[in-house]
Amino acid sequence: MHVRTILLPAVVLTLGACNASVEGARTSSGFIERLPDAVVAAAAPYQDLRHVRLLPEDGCYWYRHEGPVETTLLPLRTAEGRPICTRAQRRPVAGG
């Protein structure tokens, strides 16, 4: 468990370094041609890694999910359910 706690921030920092090289490697449909190895290693297995985008609005990777009714972009997540992003995500402030 402690290894995952240490490994995840390292993956996020590594992805941040890869951001510039990923920007130019897109297909005509806007999906990334080749994901960084760190993203592939961190992603949960049930996601479509052939159709992934890095959205500038949040700095996170999103994949195309084809459901029975619609096709939409969903956040690419680790097996633990955390989003895979190139920068740290803000946590919502608890209301009270």
Ranges of each domain in the chain: 2-75
Under 8 Å CB-to-CB from 31, ≥6 apart: which residues?
Answer: 50, 51, 52, 53, 64
Radius of gyration of the chain (CA): 14
Within its chain, how far is the Cα of 77 from the centroid? 6
Give the pLDDT band (50/70/90) at residue 30.
confident
Mean pLDDT of 68-91: 90
**Cα–Cα distance, 63 to 66 (Å, whole number):** 10
Is pLDDT of 64 > 90? yes
| pTM as predicted | 0.66
Q: Which residue has the higher pLDDT, 10 or 28?
A: 28
What pLDDT, on the 0 to 100 scale, is given for residue 92?
58
